Structure 1
Amino acid sequence: MHIKRINRVLISVTCLLISLCPILNQAQEHPNLILTKAGVEKIRAELGSIPIFDATLEQVKEEVDAEIALGIDTPIPKDYSGGYTHVRHKRNMVVMQKAGVLYQILDDEKYAKYVKDMLMQYEGMYRTLPLHPKTRSYARGKLFWQCLNDSNWLVYVSQAYDCIYNYLSKAERKKLEKNLFRPFADHISVDSPQFYQRVHNHSTWGNAAVGMIGLVMNDKELIDRALYGIKGVNLDKTAKDDDGGFLNKDGKAGFLANIEEPFSPDGYYNEGPYYQRYAMYPFLIFAEGLHNVKPELKIFEYKDGVLLKSINALLNLSDADGDFFPLNDGQKGMSYYNDALVTAVDISYYFGNQDPGLLSIAAKQNKVLLDDSGLAVALGIKNGKAKPFDKKSINLTDGPDGNQGGVGILRSEDLELVFKYSAQGSSHGHYDKLSFSFYEKGDEVLQDYGLARFVNIEQKGGGNYLKENKTWAKQTIAHNTLVQNGKSHYQGKFDIGSKYHPDLYLFDASKPEIQLVSAKETNAYPGTEMHRTMAIIKEEGFEKPFLLDIFKVKSDSVNQYDLPFYFMGQVLKTNFEYEVPQILEPLGKDNGYQHLWSEGSGHPIGENTKLSWLDKGSFYTLTSATLKNDELSFVRIGANDPEFNLRREAGFLIRRKEVQNSLFVSVVEAHGSYSPVSESAVNSNSNIAALKVVLDTVDYTAISITTIKGNTKLFIIANTNASKEAKHTLKINEKNYTWVGSYYYN
């Protein structure tokens, strides 16, 4: 840890400790956690004149009124995710939070009574409630099968309690706090240190739950426990969480540690955007509570304001449709339309610099928080301040100090390249260094598989992670990156992967006509260096920008290398012959290969191998510089999957055997269109006549691209000197090339 970072932590902790002491003894007014008394007055004054706020309020009112009409149900817990009792308790927490808000804004006692009556039912249940009967979790809850969901419940219910605090009598508050809230907070923290005492999205929810109920109850002990963790607790060093990752055992715990460690200075969250989305709600809602109740903590300024930076990073980790890129464990289709991102956008706008681009996203979300931040967003939209949120090419560093790899995103016209060279990503990380995915207009062209899980669908493993997440989705072959000798990066082992990360070699998005990202990985396979450079190039004569992929591998030993491309769509044409087997067999026995059917195989017939496909009305062509002994395979996901847990999607694989050092070069073109209405195909063929490696040395790699009209362009990457000021002179085929910088293109 750097000295600067140590000082930052010490100063923050000291200030927090000093500032907490005198304040907690003072009387508090309610609501003060998320809604504030002054904010409620402003909201009431604006009602009827703020369209998006008014519409959200009406929707929430209809929803809660319908629940009130159904009556209160707090069943004895018995189910996994997706089961009735799980869904009912989850629904109760959300409805209570919303009912509390309605009570404050509409001043209608029926909502306060509804919350009170439900809380009293929970109080009566919780006193004698045992651990949840489902035993799968490493940390069982009481209302839910895992402490994580119990923490979700308390985060929401804390807000409801704050909203009806003054409606309750002193005796009623004492009863709830003694029999429900304090024991609840103790169970997910003191009684469950393996859940609470760590750096992970699980514990972030736990910290926020304990801290938020502590803020409402004015309980200094709970607030301290939330901010700094439990003192003097040692964890079993062999313990693992539900996802197979080892628990944190270095003593770092509490809300501040969960801000300090997972976030890079750019705001990238090490578990990936799917779990960043999930974690942002407790991060931001607790931070908002701390800001309102303890403004002297300046929580939104902690670690150079990284919580607000993280929202911008997260929004940039979404495609043109707002769906988050499925890096690491990520369910496809999760987007910034999720309620957690409504919270993120509103809080970022209100507590940040009031970026008008956020208003355009809020308008698309078509809902706001029913609090001070939501009011600010609604007024901003009403007053015409919204501007488009401009997502540009961006490089997001990983690691608490920004020096543990990262994710590079290149955007050009309607195309997006996502290049992953990040650290392991905690227990949700996948073993796919230097992998990529490619999008056009928000649609996948070359995909990242994401996770193997059907979240909250009881029929699929209780809605939890399936065994195929480990045997397929996490394995290297499941991704568009190099596999050596059929083995996953870092042996597919969490403890090894957590020690290493790739290193950025180059990121340059300064020129719209050519943008590059390049990184090296030296630890995925000991004795082997992998260096991948990817560029999006806008070139005259091409309908759309094309993607150039250069994968250079250097090893101490002779190996087999596999490079897959998981394309989306229907195969149209190849320029090589292949055989289709009568009986399908898996491509291998382990490391994910056991889940790939070998559907066809062949060999190159020339220096270039071409594969064209059609998807969603667009044509795509992969052109690869191949060797005559390369093996070309069509594969399909789904072997050894008797329960049909995996999607049956296709891939194309280039295999190169018995080589030591090698170079894989490919170009992906997006071109043309097809209309099933007019039955018209436009520009359906590749524009590339030849892709050649004209030079490959330790220091330089040169690639020529010749179009069907005979125009040739040369791209040269300096492999050992990425300096923008470096001067290079290189002779290729008796011609001298001189340039300044890390690459040459002309």
Structure 2
Amino acid sequence: MKFVRRLALLGVLCGAASLAGAQPHPSIFITKQEAAAIRAAEGKYPLLDRSLREARATMDSAFAKPIDVPPPGEAGGYEHERHKQNYREMQTAGLLYQITGDVRYARFVRDMLEKYAVLYPTLGAHPLNKNQSAGKLFHQALNEANWLVATTIAYDCVYDFLSPAERARFETNVFRPMASWLSREHPHEFDRIHNHGTWATASVGMLGLVIGDTTYVNDALKGTTRDGSGGFVRQLDLLFSPDGYYMEGPYYIRYALMPFYYFAEAVQRRQPSARLYAYRDSILKKGLYSAVQTAYPNGVFAPINDASRTMSIASPEVVLAVDLAYDRYGPNANLLGAAAIQNDVILNGAGLKVARDLAARTATPKMSFGSVEFTDGPDGKRGGLGILRSGAGQHATMLLMKYGVHGQGHGHFDKLHFTFFDDGREVVPDYGFARWINIEPKLGGRYLPENDTYAMQTIAHNTVTVDQRTQNDANEDKDEAVWPERHFFDASNPAVQAMSARTDKHYAGVAEQRTMLLVRDARLPYPVVVDLFRLTSAAPHSYDYPLHFRGQLIATNTTYARAASLEPLGAKFGYEHLWNEASARTDSTVRMTWLDGNRYYSITTAGAPGTDVIFARTGASDPNFNLIVEPLMIVRRRASDMLFASVIEPHGYFSELEERSTNARGTIESVRVLGSSAEGSVVEVAGKNGLRWTVMVTNGPASATARHALTFGGQTYSWTGNYAVQGVQR
């Protein structure tokens, strides 16, 4: 495999050596032939027409105002946003010039580049970079690379319109200095295996393809040292698992898809023999598909690691990747379904093809993905991500568990963490990042201090925290070096699906195993989650099992006392940001019901002696009100070995409009641990209408054929395979 990769890379480099000769313009994203085809297709395909209308509207607005190229300013402020809008408008204008032939668009690009040619030579490192790899126009080099990618496409589109003197001035004053700033002045950032490196290499490589400079192209492909330790190809090797999962998580693959696909497309057009789209068994195709499949049924990406809670597959980056993948890898109904949700196409031949094929459908295609497991790490042996699904459409149920790598600088200390999506909503949520992106008054839109002190910490996630300390004591280097072990994943039976993972590397002396099942019983209106979180240790520890939720707490079965005065739950590891609002002590089953949207949800957790139940809320130690205020419940127990056995049940209906409420109390009444050992755990779930399940899970080596027989309380429980649930009605 490595030999094949080297041969592919050699082909790339040999092809790059021939770039200096004459070449047509434009050639890296659109050609004159594609532009003519789009022009001829206008009025035939609704999605193409919509995208063209939006592009024209963008430029009509731009034409109505004078061109402004301000000196650098604060991240998220006017100057920052103006430079972003400038590169977007230049790219749009360049494409519209090719499609329409209207010289107003070409003049717009030229006139704006004239202003940058005056400003850019006067700039040094951005004065407000705050210890980041600085750009000149922007506070970080990453944004400079964004600017260069979009403006290079615009430059390619108007290249023949410009005079040789204008081209020389723009390349001398802007393009070459910017490319050198990104690659030679910031080699660490350029060669970094990270989305910042992806953007930097793509931007410099694309410029090299347009101006015929093989130095830039080779830097981009193999890194500044040319030994392959950095560069675009190394990014493809190390940032994806073999099945396409991106180590930084869905939010950042969404962002990285754009430079990955832009540069692959540019190379494919200029040097098709390089076959970047086919590289590493079509890893770019797998990367897109894995990204789309990690989205919730409503198209919003699960907010794993540093991530927005609202970013979706409708983002421009995913629109680009969907259209190019549809063109380069062949027609696909799921990609058309994604395009229907996006309601947008890119303005080149690929976008035209998607718009044409979507218009030919008699019914709007829908995305349809089943349960799936992704491996993590470049070798696929560093844990993974499991997704269990039930139902179809935007109201389907989705259960996600994370058991992969840390995720570099954007990773969170959240191993064996889960989220739950139901009835069109993220019901058991992930906090995502602590950031008000591009909102200048909130630290210039940068990551807030609370991203480190809360959002990354273990207690901010739905996984057990040991001794009120974050996994690996919040040491990123230690966490990067270890990952959980995949135990088993089985979605073959739609009535009972299961996934399991474990680790003994995140808390010294403590072994953890989480097994989660999605169960569909005919007596219940919706699928329920069964969660078995087992911890073992030679010494006693304090174990905190948290459940974050939204909406309104409706009822509990514990008699709790409201705190006389609000105090934080702790002093560090995220606990300093949690108000201790109420608490209770019980030996019995713990049950809580909350209302979220039009549906009730109940969590029922098996009882154990000396259980503390804490009702908390984010917002403590937050003088600037940076945190989103949301509730959580923590079940705390002190023990050496512990099995948290819980069921999350959606039930009932509520409508404020109709003033109607039904089944606010649900069906599940009790969860009981019958026994747990090194070989396996057995749990009983009971409820109304004679519902009684026996849940049996192996704690030893995974085997789909192994037979198990465990005796607890004089009763023997037998099953074959990794798990079994007896008593489910279908």
Aligned position for 1:93: 87
Q: Greater CA deviation, 143-152 or 124-133?
A: 124-133
Q: CA deviation at 1:187?
A: 0.4
Q: Hey, what's the Cα distance between the residues in 2 that align with 1:408 and 1:135?
A: 38
Query: Which one of 45, 48, 53 corresponds to residue 50 of structure 1?
Result: 45
Q: Distance in 1 between matches of 2:690 and 2:162?
A: 81
Once the two structures are superposed, residues 311-345 of structure 1 have per-residue CA deviations (whole angstroms, 9 ceiling, x without a partner) of: 11111111121111000000111111111111121
1:640 corresponds to:
621
Of the structure 1 ranges 332-341 and 706-715, higher mean CA displacement relative to structure 2 is found in: 706-715
1:415 matches 2:409:
no
The answer as to whether partners of 1:603 and 1:628 remain within 8 angstroms in 2 is no
Residue 38 (str. 1) matches residue 33 (str. 2): yes
Out of 145, 153, 161, the position equivalent to 2:155 is 161
Deviations 1:488-518 (A, max 9, x none): 1011011101100001101101110011110
Structure-2 separation of matches of 1:232 and 1:384? 48
Deviations 1:674-704 (A, max 9, x none): 1112212111112122211112111010011
**1:718 alignment counterpart:** 698
- 2:418 aligns with 436
> SS in structure 1 opposite 2:586?
coil
Q: Distance in 2 between matches of 1:193 and 1:278?
A: 21
In 2, Cα distance between equivalents of 1:104 and 1:37: 7
- Is contact 2:9-2:274 (8 Å) kept? no
Residue 548 of structure 1 corresponds to which residue in structure 2?
A: 530
1:8/1:599 Cα in 2 relative to 1: closer, same or farther (>3 Å)?
Answer: farther
Q: Distance in 1 between the 2:130 and 2:669 partners? A: 57
Amino acid at match of 1:630: T
Q: Indicate the residue corresponding to 2:430 in structure 1.
A: 448
1:10 Cα shift?
A: 2.1
Partners of 1:253 and 1:420 in 2: how far apart? 28
Q: Residue 80 of structure 1: CA displacement?
A: 2.0
2:370 corresponds in structure 1 to: 392
Paired letter, 2:95:
V
Alignment of 1:621 with 2:602, yes or no, is: yes
Distance 1:678 1:45 in 2: 52
With over 3 angstroms needed to count, the CA separation of the structure-2 counterparts of 1:661 and 1:605, relative to structure 1, is: closer
Q: 1-side partners of 2:288 and 2:724: how far apart? A: 35
Deviation at 1:135, TM superposition (A): 3.5
Residue 344 of structure 2: SS of its match in structure 1?
Answer: coil
1:321–1:441 contact (8 Å) kept in structure 2 = no
Q: 2:194 maps to which residue?
A: 200
Q: Number of paired residues?
A: 721
Q: How does 1:144-223 map to 2 (within 5 A)?
A: 144-223=138-217
Q: Deviations over 1:355-412 (max 9, x none)?
A: 0221122122221101111001011111117521102111111111111111111111
The yes-or-no answer on 1:504 pairing with 2:499 is: no
Moved more, 331-340 or 87-96: 331-340
User: How far apart are residue 461 of structure 1 and its match?
Assistant: 0.6
Q: 2:547 aligns with which of 561, 565, 568?
A: 565
Matched, 1:469 2:451: yes
TM-score where L is the length of structure 2: 0.97
How does 1:3-82 map onto structure 2 within 5 Å?
A: 4=1, 6-21=2-17, 23-77=18-72, 79-82=73-76
Instruction: Provide the residue aligned with 1:329 in structure 2.
Output: 306
Q: For 1:706-734, what per-residue CA distance to the aligned partner results, in whole angstroms no more than 9, with x for missing partners? A: 11233321111111132112223344555
Deviation larger for 627-636 or 383-392: 383-392
Alignment of 1:531-610 (within 5 A): 531-604=513-586, 606=588, 608-610=589-591
Q: Please identify, of 597-606 and 724-733, the stretch whose mean Cα deviation from structure 2 is larger.
A: 724-733
Distance in 1 separating the partners of 2:15 and 2:629: 57
Match of residue 264 from structure 1: 241
1:740 partnered with 2:720 = yes
What residue identity is the alignment partner of 2:137? L
Contact kept, 8 Å, 2:26 with 2:157, in 1: the verdict is: yes
Alignment equivalent of 2:510, drawn from 528, 531, 549 = 528
Q: Render the CA deviation track for 1:188-240: whole Å, top value 9, x for unaligned.
A: 1101123212101111110111011111001100000111110189xxxxxxx
CA distance in 1, matches of 2:419, 2:498: 15
In structure 2, the partner of 1:241 is none
Separation in 1 of the partners of 2:334 and 2:231? 33
Question: Match of 1:352, as an amino acid?
Answer: Y
Cα displacement (A) at 1:459 = 0.6
Unaligned runs of 5+ in 1: 234-250
Judge conservation of contact 1:80–1:145 (CA < 8 Å) in 2. Answer: yes
Deviations 1:533-577 (A, max 9, x none): 000001132121110000001113221111110011111111110
Secondary structure of residue in 2 paired with 1:670: strand
Conservation of the 8 A alpha-carbon contact between 2:587 and 2:608: no
Mapped partners of 2:236, 2:279: distance in 1: 8
Distance 1:687 1:398 in 2: 37
For 1:673 and 1:503, how far apart are their aligned partners in 2? 39
Q: CA deviation at 1:12?
A: 2.5
Q: Which amino acid is 2:668 matched to?
A: I
2:287 to 300, 310, 319: 310
Unaligned runs of 5+ in 2: none
Q: Does the Cα contact within 8 Å between 2:587 and 2:607 map onto a contact in 1?
A: no
User: SS state of the match for residue 675, structure 2?
Assistant: strand
Please tell me whether the aligned partners of residues 40 and 105 of structure 1 are also in contact (alpha carbons under 8 angstroms): yes
Corresponding residue of 2:381: 403
**What is the deviation of 1:83?**
0.8
Q: Distance in 1 between matches of 2:3 and 2:710?
A: 48
Cα distance, 1:736 vs structure 2: 4.5
Secondary structure of 2:517's counterpart equals: strand
CA deviation map 1:633-685 (0-9, x unaligned): 0000010001000011000001112x111111100000010111221211111
Q: The residue matched to 2:159 in structure 1 has which SS?
A: helix
Classify the secondary structure of the residue corresponding to 2:233. helix
For residues 140-187 of structure 1, give each alpha carbon's deviation from its aligned partner in whole angstroms, at most 9, with x where no partner exists.
Answer: 111111111111000000000000011112222122112211111000
Contact 1:137 1:146 in 2 (8 A): no
The 5 A counterparts of 1:644-663 are 644-657=625-638, 659-663=639-643
The 4+ residue runs of structure 1 with deviation greater than 3 A are 729-739
Q: Secondary structure at the match of 2:492?
A: strand
Contact 1:320 1:441 in 2 (8 A): no
Note if contact 2:615-2:632 (Cα within 8 Å) is conserved in structure 1: yes
Q: Which amino acid aligns with 2:42?
A: L
Tell me what 2:669 maps to.
689
Q: How far apart are residue 415 of structure 1 and its match?
A: 1.4
Q: What amino acid maps onto 1:647 in structure 2?
A: I
With the length of structure 1 as denominator, give the TM-score of the two structures.
0.95
Return the offset for 1:48. 2.2
Letter of the 1:281 partner, please give it.
M
Match of 1:229 in 2: 223
Match of 2:348 among 348, 362, 371: 371
Partner of 2:358: 381
Name the aligned partner's letter for residue 675 of structure 2: L
**2:542 aligns to what SS in structure 1?**
strand
CA distance in 1 between partners of 2:518 and 2:48 (Å): 41
Distance 1:654 1:70 in 2: 58
Q: Which amino acid aligns with 1:614?
A: L
CA distance in 1, matches of 2:55, 2:15: 37
1:236 equivalent in structure 2: none
Cα shift at 1:130: 1.9
Q: Is 1:133 paired with 2:111?
A: no
Provide the secondary structure at the position in 1 that maps to 2:569. coil
